[in-house]
Chains A and B, each alone.
Chain A
Amino acid sequence: MHLFNIIRRSVFQLAASDGTKRRFFLIMPSRVITCRTLVLSAWLNKDSSPSATEKLDLDGWKHVMRSAQQEEATERTSQSEEDSPLAVTRELIEMWRLSGRLVPENISEEDFKTLNECPTKSSIRKYLKFLAIKENRKKADREKKEKRNEANKERMLNTQENAGGELPNTFLPKFWTRSQDAVYNWRAAQSMIFGQPLVYDMNYENYMSRREMENTVKQLMESEGANRRALDPFHLHYCNLKAGGPYHKEFVKRYGEAWDKLFVTVTEKSYVEVFPKDQLVYLTADSPNVMKTFEHDKIYIIGSIVDKSMKTGLSLANAKRLDLATARLPLDRCLQWAEGAKNLTLDQMMRILLTLKDTGNWKEALQFVPQRKHEGFVNMSSWSKEQIDTWKKTKLHEKMAGQRKAHKQFAQNFSRRQTQKNWWEDVS
């Protein structure tokens, strides 16, 4: 065995240096195969006593591999070798899959194009991972569906067997989703005439990557759906939506024919042209003003942007440019914030605003803030008391109290002077 190894290795080195490995495998002596059978038989006949470990043939696997190799080699020479970059990439991905990396099994042409446009190694890796996860999810969904279909079939069979009794007597015919949709649509149509406007600012196309844009459209669809189901929907405006722009294309792709039948006002105009300026309030997490109550005569604007990379102050800059009022949700005031950014998704925003519109209750509205981001609601009364207690202990408070006293006296004097003056004026 050892002798054979030594011979083989030397031959191998020669082969490697000549660069004629493949041919070498083709003319490899059949001895290896006999060797394999020998090894295998040795394995089959082995006893599992501890002494066997000493006699273990540790290099057996190499022969197994080599004999497997030989068949492969014959296969491979018959193939025509293509070295186009496309094929190379496909092969690389296949090998990555074999090495246990998270890559998809089959890639569509469109995805392949996107993959080729990836600028860096890490972006390629991330995109492949994304595709792989998507693929796995699809597979799982398909399996679930099949299971469900089978269960349904079984149930149908059972019911058919049990059928034959008298028909049930009902007050209503079966309530189809169609009729539900009709109700929703009536409501939405009503809101188009009488509802409070809510503007989505679609001005951020150029600030987003493709994926962020797709996510935005998905969130917009979610929020449109949530709005339609509400008791008193908003009248949605998609402002600054460029016809033929990426947003528009994506909408048409996702909604299909329903895009033209949506109860939403879509316009290329800016919100400043559509509405009076003093009624507009731009909602942005960077705003210095905290929203205290929901006002029914104001028109709120939500910037439709998903920023996976922190783009701070983007929507605030827009509001500044047009000189609009801004506001942010009172997240700090009402919640014990734990982690995560304070910019919420568009559909969460929509649900919060709808709830506020209906009830005006912050606690109820802010239930749509993801649970992971906060540790419960602030108990306002006890919290403020505690704060005041600790604060009173500090020296600063004493100083400030003194100041306040001085201010008060000054103010009193000032007001007295004012009244006197008025009195004089009256006299004169």
Chain B
Amino acid sequence: MVFFHQTSSLGLLKSLKKSHIFYPMPKHQQMPIVLGCFIFTSSYQCAKPVDPKRIRPGTTTLSFKGKGEGIRETRVGKDYSSPRPFNLFAAGASKRRSGPREAIEDSERSILSRRITLHPPEKPLSAGEWEELKGQFEGLRKFELLMFEQMIACNSPIDVAKSLLAAVANREGDIQYSILLKYLCLCVSQGSTEEIYDVHDILKARFKTLETSGYGLLIRGLSGTPRWREALSLLEELKKVMTPSKSNYGDCIRGALLNREINLACELFHEMLAKDLVPNLDTLQIFFDTGRSVKDDILKTELMHILSYLRDNQVYPGEALMQSIKQWFESIPGENWKGSLTTIKHSGQCPSCNQSLESINLSPEEYSTLKERIIKDVIQGTDTFRKTTPQELEEFQTFVNQCPPFDIVIDGLNVSRVYNKAIPSQTLLNVVSYLAQQNPRMLILGRKHMLKKTSQWHRNDMAALQKKAHFFFTENLSEDDPFLLYATLHSGSHCRFVTRDLLRDHKACLSDSLTRRLFFKWQRGHQMVLSDYIPGKRIKFESVLNFDTIVQTTGNTWHIPYDDNVLKRSSYEVPTKWLCLQQK
């Protein structure tokens, strides 16, 4: 493929673009080859005809399907790479669904990578040589600044930067603050303590106050050195002008912990949480790393506090933090913890210690608050007319109150459009008939246009559906999802709902993060997703998880879900890998 000539690769592209032929999904061995022609066309020239800027998601030039088939097809397409049973909320699911598009974006990025024009020199130059170099880039106004930025990017030796500083000082008798900042940044990234001290002293003497990035860099630079206490005083100065960021606090905490000042670190940590800052994971990691070597009751309670913080705020540790937690537990003397990495089965049992994990069902109080909030925030919002009308809402509520509780609530429109080559009403009928085998009480939500006799909604199908399930039709202008949520919640915790929608926009309507988390937990435990549908052959629902993905303990065991480094997890997904700790 390397000797594939560029023009021919373009020809291939064009033919792919024009043809409406139905290409099969490429197998994984073929993928790199097809992309190869992209990757080896490193020059921008030959990528021009493709015009990557114009590539919009869904209409990629490398689409392996004709234009007739949409993205929905790819989503339904069988996914061999995912572990079975596949879950919509499992980390990396969205990336898998988006399929080969990601790879194309990567190759685009490689094509569109900016050409670096300024190359910092290898060795220190004299002032004259710097002038010469500057002369070459005539018209570049901020030559020194750009040069420093490039030095930071290339991680040049400090001596080169010093020589440039010397040249500037020699020319102007003074050095701008912005240039000093860039130099400081370079020193901090290379950890040259002496230089950081000097720049710190110069800055403190020259300027009465600094600004956020200057303080941030100095705090970072000083926190790992013997003069780490000065970082604390810098933090105090920063507090006068602005709320410090989480990394400022994180650096100070790192400095305190490296010097075994446990109390100070804890104080800073609590102060940070009080300001509603979410700590960086590596800050937490330093706590656990320190815990391994320092045996101290205060620190132990603090670490337990951190674990409960992770639980309460649904923060999932990364792989590095997970390893630190594991090692800390195993290093506690006399408690004999043993950690192992597992994935949990769908039954909710941990394979390594046979412990059942926490149920995903909400407590009755949580349930009732969620129900209220759905009505108040999602359906009514600031203006009932935006999603429905008051009259319709009342109608719906009386309808739900009259009916006995349902077992399954179905988003009729969503389900009917699962398979775009079939008639919607038939698809809906097939899915409902499949679900009706266990004789549940079903409610189908739809819009009034489904009642009209059209080519898409057949009378006889609708009549058959009427026999199997209850119906509620909203106005065509109303949103049906909020009603789906409310009907499901109203029926009780045994009730499930069927839709493929991720419901992110409705989650966003909820006003505070706690309720949003409740909603997400409830959604994971109650949403049935139709993952695979071929008419007359296969109907497959993803199994609903019955355990909650959250840091949890039973006293002598801990189960901690974590993100592995490879998979990118979206915000509406939860990790699938677990750290199981048990006391022997």
Q: A residues near B, CB below 8 A?
A: 9, 12-13, 16, 21-22, 25, 40, 43, 46, 48, 52-53, 56-62, 64-66, 68-69, 72-73, 76, 81, 83, 88-89, 91-92, 95-96, 98-101, 121, 288, 312-314, 316-318, 320-321, 390, 394-396, 399-400, 403-404
Residues of A with C-beta under 8 A to B212: 92, 96
Residues of A with C-beta under 8 A to B211: 92, 95-96, 98-99, 101
- Within the complex, which residue of A9, A40, A69 is in contact with B206, where a contact is CB–CB below 8 Å? A69
Q: In the bound complex, how far is the Cα of B227 from the Cα of A400, in angstroms?
A: 81
Can you spell out 23 A-B residue pairs with CB atoms less than 8 angstroms apart? Answer: A9-B194, A16-B201, A52-B126, A58-B166, A61-B166, A64-B169, A64-B174, A65-B175, A69-B206, A83-B240, A89-B241, A92-B211, A92-B212, A92-B242, A95-B177, A95-B207, A99-B177, A99-B181, A100-B178, A101-B211, A316-B386, A317-B383, A400-B455
Q: In the bound complex, how far is the Cα of B208 from the Cα of A16, in angstroms?
A: 15
Residues of A with C-beta under 8 A to B176: 98
A21 touches B204 (CB 8 A): yes
For window 199-218 of B, CB contacts with A under 8 Å fall at 201-202, 204-214
* Shortest Cβ distance from residue B232 to the other chain A in the assembled complex, whole angstroms: 13
Interface-located stretch among B157-165, B347-355, B514-522, B556-564: B157-165
Interface size of B as a range? 35 or more
B126 touches A66 (CB 8 A): no
Residues of A with C-beta under 8 A to B174: 64-65, 68
Residues of A with C-beta under 8 A to B126: 46, 48, 52-53, 56
B386 touches A313 (CB 8 A): yes
Q: In the bound complex, how far is the Cα of B373 from the Cα of A120, in angstroms?
A: 27
Q: In the bound complex, how far is the Cα of B171 from the Cα of A61, in angstroms?
A: 10
- B476 CB within 8 Å of chain A: yes
Given contacts A16-B201, A69-B206, A88-B241, 13 further A-B contacts (CB under 8 A): A21-B201, A21-B205, A48-B126, A53-B123, A53-B126, A56-B124, A65-B206, A69-B202, A121-B243, A312-B386, A314-B383, A317-B383, A320-B385
Q: B residues near A, CB below 8 A?
A: 20, 68, 123-129, 145, 159, 162-163, 165-166, 168-170, 173-178, 181, 194, 197-198, 201-202, 204-214, 227, 230, 240-243, 383, 385-387, 389, 421, 423, 455, 476-477
Known A96-B211, A403-B455: A12·B242 in contact at CB below 8 Å: no
The residue in chain B whose Cβ has the minimal distance to the Cβ of A96 is: B211
B209 touches A58 (CB 8 A): no
Residues of A with C-beta under 8 A to B202: 62, 65-66, 69
B206 touches A68 (CB 8 A): yes
The residue in chain A whose Cβ has the minimal distance to the Cβ of B161 is: A58
Q: In the bound complex, how far is the Cα of B198 from the Cα of A177, in angstroms?
A: 67
Q: In the bound complex, how far is the Cα of B456 from the Cα of A400, in angstroms?
A: 9
Q: In the bound complex, how far is the Cα of B166 from the Cα of A13, in angstroms?
A: 24
- Total A-B residue contacts, Cβ distance less than 8 Å: 139
Q: In the bound complex, how far is the Cα of B197 from the Cα of A13, in angstroms?
A: 9
Residues of A with C-beta under 8 A to B177: 95, 98-99
- Within the complex, which residue of A62, A316, A318 is in contact with B198, where a contact is CB–CB below 8 Å? A62
The residue in chain A whose Cβ has the minimal distance to the Cβ of B211 is: A95
B170 touches A317 (CB 8 A): no
Known A68-B173, A95-B207, A96-B211: A316·B242 in contact at CB below 8 Å: no
Known A43-B170, A73-B205, A400-B455: A58·B162 in contact at CB below 8 Å: yes
* Shortest Cβ distance from residue A15 to the other chain B in the assembled complex, whole angstroms: 9
* Shortest Cβ distance from residue B324 to the other chain A in the assembled complex, whole angstroms: 30
Q: In the bound complex, how far is the Cα of B124 from the Cα of A53, in angstroms?
A: 7
* Shortest Cβ distance from residue B297 to the other chain A in the assembled complex, whole angstroms: 32
Residues of B with C-beta under 8 A to A16: 201, 227, 230
3 smallest CB-CB distances across A and B, nearest first, come from A317-B385, A95-B211, A61-B169
Q: In the bound complex, how far is the Cα of B476 from the Cα of A404, in angstroms?
A: 25
Q: In the bound complex, how far is the Cα of B423 from the Cα of A403, in angstroms?
A: 12
* Shortest Cβ distance from residue A22 to the other chain B in the assembled complex, whole angstroms: 8
The residue in chain A whose Cβ has the minimal distance to the Cβ of B171 is: A43
Residues of A with C-beta under 8 A to B230: 16
**Among B126, B181, B242, which residue has the most Cβ atoms of chain A within 10 A?**
B126
Residues of B with C-beta under 8 A to A66: 202, 205
- Within the complex, which residue of B173, B205, B389, B421 is in contact with A25, where a contact is CB–CB below 8 Å? B205
Residues of B with C-beta under 8 A to A121: 242-243
Residues of B with C-beta under 8 A to A399: 423
